[in-house]
Structure 1
């Protein structure tokens, strides 16, 4: 326990901690300014999202486990499940009453907002702020430039600016379909922390199949298609920050997806090799 505390304290002395904590504080000041001084009450679900997931963290820490990584993973699993259900609900509702081509038409994705989409995006944005804070406080990251903190930094920037300007909300809802894959990422982490590491068991094989399938279709392919759509409709965007910010955000997401795919493949191979070693 003392070793863990020293490890966290050491991380709090790094440049990464100060940079990402400073940007998070600046983000929080900006949000409160918009709500309190500009009367942007539609942003209140963002505060609700942050408080809801912070409360979930407290409940998990109080009644299940005090391990920061386990608690963080459980709350992340909750977010992925709720967000996936929200995105699927929004899309099904739209498909039930509109033509597919109409739904994915440029003006629909950029200038209009589907019912519940704004609130869903606010709540997810609140989660990413909570998760960034939790990881910083408990040192749940590694590396000189931690990819997970960079991922949240990009998301908070893109999501918040879109919410402030009330544009590209539907585009961002489409990007959140990747949370279907995040469910199985978090399930795998919980399973391994519970000591279930037999790479050849049927349940683990099913989990890996769903993990890989959702990575390919819900994360990798969906983000590539969104990027292609942005490039194809580039001339339809008005002059401003929307297109450059969208392209920057998707470029970052696609790059992180490549690294995530490599990590997944290596993890899959390691689990299989571990089983073969034990078997021999």
Structure 2
């Protein structure tokens, strides 16, 4: 038994070491770009990490000494803040672009790949800073599970894709479009916070409304939007150069679509579980 626990501990330490090393290398790369190549706009990445780490500290400080100060609750609360900030930023950027230039030129290939909408670069940097913060927070408090933690892998892929795009200032607008999914993440994190706060009655109006608000943006803001972006990439594949932009974009979108399928399956299981619990409680009440 002790030997098995030691082996499991060793595997966990190896996982942590790998992802921590990649995070340090990522930070070194960003620092190199800022200091030596004078890409000062990348400081928004550092600002993003600082903002979300500060949010974490403030939530932890002001939360009562209970489950609400639990690292998982604090992490989820900060994730909710990120979803709110990012969603607002994306809506602002798209609305401004739509009002100024109309829809006709917004989704042109050259605009999506080579252009950068107003505030899109800064918003992407800020979101990139969040993923770096969140990676560190989950590693620090071990807020992950499995030998190949999907959430850590997801963050690593996003950090690579985002920073490469930011370094070269290409496909920024495409990446902003992918962040539309944060609209759904708002309700996803609200659900987690609600459950951690002890509100679990499936018959509650709040819970029923929350499920409606979860399913609708899941399909519209996450699934449909990502499928459309993938279709756009495939349609315009011949317009890309011979660089890594297209393979990297297709790889990233494939990962996001697979993640959406997994998330949908988990969502359906959770929905059925709550419905089953509701029916069981209803029968007990009548008996």
TM range (shorter): over 0.9
1:182 aligns to what SS in structure 2? helix
Q: Structure 2 unaligned segments of length 5 or more: list them.
A: none
Contact 1:121–1:173 (CA under 8 A) maintained in structure 2: yes
Q: 1:193 to 1:11 in 2, by over 3 A?
A: farther
For residues 38-84 of structure 1, give each alpha carbon's deviation from its aligned partner in whole angstroms, at most 9, with x where no partner exists.
Answer: 11101011000000000000001111143100100110000000100
Q: Deviation at 1:15?
A: 2.7
Q: Which 4+ stretches in 1 moved above 3 angstroms? A: 9-14
Contact 1:48–1:126 (CA under 8 A) maintained in structure 2: yes
Partner of 1:180: 183
Partner of 1:127: 130
Q: Deviation at 1:246?
A: 0.4
Partner of 2:16: 17
Partner of 1:161: 164
Q: Structure 1 unaligned segments of length 5 or more: list them.
A: 1-5
Q: 1:10 to 1:68 in 2, by over 3 A?
A: farther
Q: CA RMSD in A?
A: 1.4
Q: Which of residues 74, 87, 90 in structure 2 aligns to 1:87?
A: 90
Q: Deviation at 1:98?
A: 1.4
Give me the whole-angstrom Cα distance separating, in 2, the residues matched to 1:11 and 1:228: 43
Q: Deviation at 1:270?
A: 0.5
**TM-score, with structure 1 as normaliser:** 0.95
1:14 aligns to what SS in structure 2? helix
Partner of 1:62: 61
Partner of 1:27: 26
Give me the whole-angstrom Cα distance separating, in 2, the residues matched to 1:11 and 1:99: 56
Contact 2:135–2:152 (CA under 8 A) maintained in structure 1: yes
Partner of 1:191: 194
Give me the whole-angstrom Cα distance separating, in 2, the residues matched to 1:147 and 1:277: 33
Give me the whole-angstrom Cα distance separating, in 2, the residues matched to 1:68 and 1:76: 12
Give me the whole-angstrom Cα distance separating, in 1, the residues matched to 2:29 and 2:233: 28
Say how many residue pairs are matched.
273
For residues 94-150 of structure 1, give each alpha carbon's deviation from its aligned partner in whole angstroms, at most 9, with x where no partner exists.
Answer: 111113121000000000100000000000000000000000100100011111111
Which is greater in Rg?
2
Q: Superposed, which structure 2 residues align to 1:68-147 within 5 Å?
A: 68-147=71-150
Give me the whole-angstrom Cα distance separating, in 2, the residues matched to 1:262 and 1:190: 20
